[in-house]
Structure 1
């Protein structure tokens, strides 16, 4: 008996095998398919700048007629934003992305084959609706499929691909005709439509809709075949069960006391992101450089575009290391400094130091875009995807995304009027708003790094 026991002990492994760790290949694949929509977003936003001369010449459009074509994108996006949360809640995250793809493809086809301005406008409106829908769904989907230690970096890829889309269309627009550029614009949504067949639905949405078998299957696919998902599955189910006792959220329900902090944080971050000047500066960067004393805006805008991508990549890398709040504080402080420098450069126009004006303007705009790309561009979308409970995520997502697109429309519309009133005053106003965003982040925004969605949402929203 003693010998048998000794033999059994000798056959045991010296170190017990740990349980298999989660595999991330399916999360990576699913994220890549989702952010094809983000790339589409960037191309759609950037398309109107390099195509302006070609469309106006080929279709004999006036500047005001082309302005309608350019701005109608944001109108469609606002409509898509209003519907985005409800659509994603009813038909699921994957199907919502598919609906977005269909609208974008139809819109690009109308632009490619359009011979009249009304068809181009209709196509641009359709593309706007599609990207308004996907701008909410993509960060939500990524946040719901990733683990807590990867969620920030993966969700930031959304903003990285938006910047990539804008940069690509700017570069290709220098050498390609506008109809070919529109054909390229249809490619990401077509690829996403195919890719959606091969990725799982959001497990949290499946749990919310009572599809328990599909929920377990989707979570297992995302974590790997050999991974023990029982603890994570139980946590998601328990939190979802708590939410089932609450009514399905409507827009007005967001203003109940239990959700108020989350609403203030989500809407506030989007308001500061937009009203800090980003779209006015991005849409009219070339004009700003010329106004600041450069003979041409090409050098400045090229440097501006090149800087966005690596700084967004740095932000994605640091997201789950340094945390959301430190990056937001550095980013908003940098945007404040950048806009202040540009404001000073315009204030020096009539002084003896006017030779410093172009240098200060270039420095300020590069500091602004680098700082914005580091945090304020991506992190509001990340936090929006984390703080709202799933019973309110549809309504809250629609409200927050609508705030983003409304701010984009307002700023892109009034920017030229503000610059005509006072160039220095415009940027001093932006600097004040960016300064207030530092205070807002410091006092209101929670740190969500390394926490599960259920933990974040329980701490942000009272369910008693």
Structure 2
């Protein structure tokens, strides 16, 4: 059913289920672009209005979303899963267009669901079966590393970082907000051309370098005659990290998560991955300030090391999903683990 109503982070899952393989990446990543635009707008407007007013303004899009959700179709894959065959074909035809031949795609969806649904129940424990191990490692691993890589702390405590580096908070926030939008647009446009893995590797490598430079910048703050470099290097590194994150690591893990889990465990997997994401985000948000008080330079050196580990994880574990149907992706991941 339409899980987007209950959890905005399930929107990529729904979009992945209704789009074709050649457009899935762009459409799924477009939700991240909208998030980035909203986040950047809040950054800029938040400098001039109170947080209470900002919260009230933020409620308007939520109300619009509730109203528009009544007009979107159910996922064809969910319809066939619950046995609503007639609605399944009607919805799939409507999504693909009247002149499009859906017979092969419909057959692939049915075959895949039958393969993964054999002898399975609806219990959450089913998610931890051996055949789903690869998907689980990839999905949970990406979310875990995404949050512990330091970007959440950087975003939530940007004002504190600018203040420590001697930079105007208003100026720094505005620059970061403006640069994040075109970077996200580039990532969306390249999603189905360059592929997920190259964008992820570029994004995380960029974060690794930017955080390392930021650590050096705070080291220079303690060295006579070099402290003036701190503000310049921190601003450049923070903008660079925002750009690198927007191009890939901020949104692509959600795209991949929406692609790698079979239909029969997708709801449970989505819930688990979302729980890991927000739990780690809470940990990062809670500890970031304490880490900065301990050592500003050390904090960003640690984040640089986490991103280096993430590069290795992506290179070793994350498959390329560009140009492949959901059924092909899920079958390949399951088979590769069993081999």
TM-score bin (small chain): over 0.9
Q: Indicate the structure whose relative CO is greater, using CA pairs within 8 Å and at least 6 residues apart.
A: 2
Is 2:10 the partner of 1:97? Answer: no
SS across alignment from 2:320: coil
- Given the superposition, is the C-alpha separation of residues 181 and 419 from structure 1 closer, same or farther in structure 2, using an over 3 Å criterion? closer
Matches of residues 122-141 of structure 1 in structure 2 within 5 Å?
133-135=7-9, 137-141=10-14
- Given the superposition, is the C-alpha separation of residues 226 and 398 from structure 1 closer, same or farther in structure 2, using an over 3 Å criterion? same
Alpha-carbon contact 1:333-1:438 (below 8 Å) kept: yes
Unaligned runs of at least 5 residues, structure 1? 1-91, 101-132
Alpha-carbon contact 1:248-1:392 (below 8 Å) kept: no
The aligned residue for residue 339 of structure 1 is: 211
Deviation, 1:459, is 0.8
Q: Aligned match of 2:162 in 286, 289, 299? A: 289
Alpha-carbon contact 1:341-1:364 (below 8 Å) kept: yes
Is 2:223 the partner of 1:351? Answer: yes
Alpha-carbon contact 2:43-2:173 (below 8 Å) kept: no
Deviation, 1:177, is 4.9
The aligned residue for residue 310 of structure 1 is: 182
Unaligned runs of at least 5 residues, structure 2? none
Is 2:104 the partner of 1:197? Answer: no
Q: Which has the larger radius of gyration?
A: 1
Equivalent-residue separation in structure 2 for 1:213 and 1:230 (angstroms)? 13
Matches of residues 59-458 of structure 1 in structure 2 within 5 Å?
92-93=1-2, 96-98=3-5, 100=6, 133-135=7-9, 137-294=10-167, 296-352=168-224, 353-458=226-331
TM-score, length-normalised on structure 1? Answer: 0.70
Equivalent-residue separation in structure 2 for 1:316 and 1:277 (angstroms)? 22
Alpha-carbon contact 1:143-1:155 (below 8 Å) kept: yes
Task: Spell out, residue by residue over 1:12-70, the C-alpha distance to the aligned partner (whole angstroms, 9 max, x if none).
Answer: xxxxxxxxxxxxxxxxxxxxxxxxxxxxxxxxxxxxxxxxxxxxxxxxxxxxxxxxxxx
TM-score, length-normalised on structure 2? Answer: 0.95
Deviation, 1:457, is 0.3
Equivalent-residue separation in structure 2 for 1:337 and 1:186 (angstroms)? 37
- Given the superposition, is the C-alpha separation of residues 209 and 262 from structure 1 closer, same or farther in structure 2, using an over 3 Å criterion? same
Task: Spell out, residue by residue over 1:143-175, the C-alpha distance to the aligned partner (whole angstroms, 9 max, x if none).
Answer: 000000000111111211111111222333344
Two-structure CA RMSD over aligned residues (Å)? 1.6
Alpha-carbon contact 1:152-1:382 (below 8 Å) kept: yes
Equivalent-residue separation in structure 2 for 1:245 and 1:438 (angstroms)? 36
- Given the superposition, is the C-alpha separation of residues 219 and 330 from structure 1 closer, same or farther in structure 2, using an over 3 Å criterion? same
Equivalent-residue separation in structure 2 for 1:216 and 1:265 (angstroms)? 32
Deviation, 1:268, is 0.7
Number of aligned residue pairs? 336
Alpha-carbon contact 2:47-2:170 (below 8 Å) kept: no
Equivalent-residue separation in structure 2 for 1:175 and 1:339 (angstroms)? 29
- Given the superposition, is the C-alpha separation of residues 177 and 414 from structure 1 closer, same or farther in structure 2, using an over 3 Å criterion? closer
Alpha-carbon contact 2:215-2:301 (below 8 Å) kept: yes
Task: Spell out, residue by residue over 1:63-105, the C-alpha distance to the aligned partner (whole angstroms, 9 max, x if none).
Answer: xxxxxxxxxxxxxxxxxxxxxxxxxxxxx11xx334x3xxxxx
Alpha-carbon contact 1:335-1:434 (below 8 Å) kept: yes
Deviation, 1:178, is 4.6
Equivalent-residue separation in structure 1 for 2:304 and 2:117 (angstroms)? 44
Deviation, 1:300, is 1.2
Deviation, 1:325, is 0.4
- Given the superposition, is the C-alpha separation of residues 371 and 263 from structure 1 closer, same or farther in structure 2, using an over 3 Å criterion? same
